[in-house]
Structure 1
Amino acid sequence: MIEKITYSQLPHWARPNHPIMRSILGPIERSSRLRGLLRIFIGLALIALVVGLGYVTAKQDSGNDEPALRDILYGPLVGAQTVALVLALAMTSNVIAVERQKQTWDSLKLTTVGASLSLRARWIAVFFRLKWLLLVILIGRLVYIGLLMRDIVDFQGRALDLYISGITPEISLNVAILLMTALMTAFVMLPFIAVGLAAAVGILLAVYTRARSVVILGLLTLVGMRILLSIFALSLDDKLFEGALDMGRYEAWGRLLFSALEGDMALKLLHLETLGQVWADVDYTVYVGGVLLGIVLIEAALANGMVLFAAWRATKPTRN
């Protein structure tokens, strides 16, 4: 029922029962109840293992204190997000090679519509193939939002009032609530948009490379860059605001946004105490939620534009 409601919001060509999507995703298999239960058990076991590792890591950092739930989930969520991005790149970097192997690319690229529909369908197919991983990421992020809501109702519901007092610029409680809503919206959208952007980069790689060896080399390069970028962004998290008062406003903003978008500092911002410290240390960072939401929407438009550009580029006569 939920799937039907979700699929009804998609364009007709992007639904899994459309012929193009069926040819990409393969026939819908009716698995037995035993096989379905086995998959659920394996999935839950993997989640328990990863969360257990997160607990061990958080316990080492917290010393004798019991680690907070948000600290336990931080590592697993960052790892899951990185895995999703790498898989999205890998799934789309050979889309042209697959169509050539099926001997359908020459007919598809005769028109921009045919090439665009094929590439966009393979782009959307990434979300279907990663739906369970994305669901786990979404549930983890909703837990963070629940913890943030718990923080907000502290001090008899006056916690947000206390944290916005004395910051620059001064804002009303209503504006603060709107900005918190924008932050939470960006926080939920971010993994989906990041996966879409990574998949779009993979499609561009497929369009601009032909030889299989070049595709593999390009994919490994992109994956390596993606992992290094995440590691670098994560390395900024702990020292992001050390000496922030001595840091220029633009530098602080740049480090904050880069770490939030690439290293998932956004997870740490979903802690009212940390967020209040950021607001107090760096002027105008109370607007970070609105800025992050704007960037996420721009990334969504960029990903869609990259797929359309790849379709246009693939139909050029210079490509054989």
Structure 2
Amino acid sequence: MMRRLIGQLPNWARAEHPVLRYELGRSARPPLRVRLLRAFLVVVIGLVLLGGSYLIATDLLRQPLPTGLTAPLNEILFWPLLAVQVIMGAMALTLTANVVGDEIRRQTWDNLRATESGAELTLRARWALVFYRVRGLLALIIVLRVVLIVGILYDLTAFEGRYLSLLITGIEPTIPEWLGVLMVSFLMTSALLLPLTAVGFDASLGLWISAVIQQRTYSTLVQGLFILIRIGITAGLLWFTTQWLVVGSLPATDVGSWALLFGYGAIGDWGLAFLNLQRYSDIWTLVPYGIFLGAALLLFALVQAAVADQVLVLAVRRAQRRG
């Protein structure tokens, strides 16, 4: 999967490939009135989410926003982006979870299996199709994360460019400034990669479900269960992290704190909360080796991409044996 992110796309993932072009052309483009209505609803929902997030950030207008550039931006954008990420993850799973069953019901699956690489190309095309289907949400997430990253870069110019040196003073372990710059860059990179690898993993997981369970009723139940588990894990990690970092009522060892923050960044919000330099630098002070969380998240993104590839391969093999 990483080769597809940083290199040339394989033929089956390109829009001009016959199989993917066929999948893209299956759904008719809705009328202009429907598209305008959807756009209006998206704008309204976005404004509601932003307004609600602003009220949360200001404690119902009882306190001002944090100072600086990235801190208030992150506070306002956090909840809307988190909601969009949860929705996108659910979409990635559900878009592929009925692929094999749908082809069997159309009575085309046997023909695909009989054709050389027919079943494999179909599943891989449906995996790639997910990125086309969620490209709007994915672009929104990436663009807003880039905005937060630009804010971090701007904040780092404070104190005549010595702001990072001040932030890493007194943290454990003591590191040179160049290593601090590298760790922050790892965080930024992982924050941009994690949404992509998470979508790829969810799409692969959906294909695996479709290869194992063809009955739509059972498949829907399993999808719902996976989505509820994902939401529960995200909510749980968010609650525990908030109790530890903000409220301070959750006792934890240094190792436990580091593991909690890593799990939250990797699975909970895909590193979104760490794109707040004030909060992230506080973590460096509170948690030994906390500055290396960015490197750990980048490694997790690479591993997640590799796992997504393997799950996709397993789904293809399992589906080819189903009739």
TM-score above 0.5, yes or no: yes
The alpha-carbon deviation at position 113 of structure 1 amounts to 3.0
* Aligned position for 1:176: 180
Alignment partners' CA distance in 2, 1:120 and 1:163: 46
Aligned with residue 276 of structure 1, among 271, 277, 281: 281
8 A contact 1:245–1:282 mirrored in 2: no
More deviation, 100-109/242-251: 242-251
**Is this contact kept in 1: 2:98–2:210, CA < 8 A?**
yes
Q: Partner of 2:243 in structure 1?
A: 239
Partner AA of 1:283 in structure 2: P
Q: 1:101 to 1:245 in 2, by over 3 A?
A: closer
Deviations for 1:281-309, whole angstroms, at most 9, x for unmatched residues? 11112111111100011001101110111
Q: Give a deviation string over 1:231-271, Cα, whole Å, max 9, x none.
A: 11111221234669963232112101111122217222122
Determine helix, strand or coil for the equivalent of 1:123: helix
Partner of 2:58: 59
Shift of residue 56 of structure 1? Answer: 2.8
List per-residue Cα deviations over 1:191-223 (Å, max 9, x = no partner): 111111111111111111122221111111111
SS in 1 for 2:170: coil
Partner of residue 50, structure 1: 49
Residues 112 and 311 in structure 1, CA contact (< 8 A), matched pair in contact too: no
Distance in 2 of aligned mates of 1:106 and 1:245: 56
Choose the corresponding residue for 1:267, options 242, 248, 272.
Answer: 272
Partner of 1:303: 308
SS at match of 2:273: helix
Given that residues 191 and 270 in structure 2 are in contact (C-alpha distance below 8 angstroms), is that contact kept between their aligned partners in structure 1? no
Q: What is the deviation of 1:153?
A: 1.5
Farther-moved stretch of structure 1 (128-137 vs 236-245): 236-245
Q: Structure 1: 5+ residue runs without aligned partners?
A: 1-5
State the distance in 1 between where 2:116 and 2:32 align. 43
Give 1:49 deviation, angstroms: 3.4
Q: What runs of 5+ residues in structure 2 fail to find an aligned partner?
A: 67-71
Q: Give the aligned residue type for 1:253.
A: W
Pick from 187, 190, 193 the counterpart of residue 194 of structure 2.
190
SS of alignment partner, residue 267 of structure 1: coil
CA contact (8 A) 1:236 1:259 kept: no
1:164 aligns with 2:163: no
Distance 1:276 1:62 in 2: 26
* Aligned mate of 1:285, from 266, 269, 290: 290
Correspondence for 1:13: 12
Equivalenced residues, count: 312
Q: What secondary structure does 1:231 align onto?
A: helix
In the alignment, is the contact (CA less than 8 A) between 2:55 and 2:61 conserved in 1? Answer: no
Q: Which moved more, 1:272-281 or 1:44-53?
A: 44-53
Residue 129 of structure 2: aligned partner: 125
Kept in 2: contact 1:151–1:271 (CA 8 A): no
**Are 1:88 and 1:202, in contact at CA under 8 Å, matched by a contact in 2?**
yes
Contact persistence 2:195–2:270 (CA under 8 A): no
Superposed CA RMSD = 2.7
Q: Aligned partners of 2:19 and 2:224: how far apart in 1?
A: 29
Does structure 1 retain, via aligned residues, the 8 Å contact 2:156–2:163? yes
Select the residue among 201, 224, 229 that pairs with 2:228: 224
Counterpart of 2:147 in structure 1 is: 143
1:154 aligns with 2:158: yes
Once residues 311 and 245 of structure 1 are traced to their aligned partners in structure 2, the CA distance between those partners, rounded to angstroms, is 44
Give the match for residue 119 of structure 2: 115
Q: Which amino acid aligns with 1:146?
A: V
**Higher alpha-carbon deviation: 101-110 or 137-146:** 101-110
